[in-house]
Amino acid sequence: MNSHLILIKLGGSTLDNTESIRQLAHRCQFFRAKGYPLILVHGGGKAINRVLELQQLQSSFIDGLRVTTPEMMDVIEMVLSGRVNKMIVRMLNAAGLSAFGLSGVDNQLLQCSPINSQLGRVGRINHINPTLIQTLLATQQNAHLGIIPVISPVGVDEHGQALNINADWAACELAVRLPAKQLIYLTDTPGIYDGDQQPLARVNRQQLFELITKKIVTGGMLAKVNAVIHALDQGVNPVRICSALPSESGGGALCTLCVP
φ/ψ (deg, to 5) at 204? -110, 180
User: For residues 144 and 33, is the Cβ–Cβ distance under 8 A?
Assistant: yes
The number of domains in the chain is 1
Number of Cβ within 10 Å of residue 136's Cβ equals 20
CATH number at residue 172: 3.40.1160.10
Per-residue model confidence (pLDDT) at position 249: 41
pLDDT of residue 248: 47
What are the residue numbers of the active site?
9, 12, 45, 168, 224
Number of helical (H) and strand (E) elements in the chain, helices listed first:
8, 14
Q: Which amino acid is at 103?
A: S
Sign, CA dihedral 212-213-214-215, equals positive
pLDDT given for residue 104 in this prediction: 98
Each residue of 112-158: pLDDT tens digit?
Answer: 999 999 999 999 999 999 999 999 999 999 877 899 999 999 999 99
Residue 232 to residue 172: CA distance in whole angstroms: 9
Range of the domain at 66: 2-259
What separation in angstroms does the CA of 83 have from each of 44, 93, 121, 163? Answer: 9, 15, 20, 18
Task: Determine contact, residues 247/17, Cβ cutoff 8 Å.
Answer: no
Q: Are 140 and 148 in contact (CB under 8 A)?
A: yes
Helix or strand holding residue 259 (H, E)? strand 255-259
The answer, yes or no, to whether residue 100 has pLDDT greater than 90, is yes
Backbone angle region of 44, left / alpha / beta, with phi > 0 → left and psi within -120 to 50 → alpha: left
146: CB partners within 8 A, 6+ apart: 32, 37, 98, 136, 137, 139, 140
Residue 91, amino acid: M
Task: Name the amino acid, one letter, at 178.
Answer: L
Residue 247 has a pLDDT of: 56
DSSP state of 142: S
Cα of first residue to Cα of last residue in the chain, in angstroms, is 24
What are 169-196's pLDDT values in tens digits?
Answer: 999 999 999 999 999 999 888 899 999 9
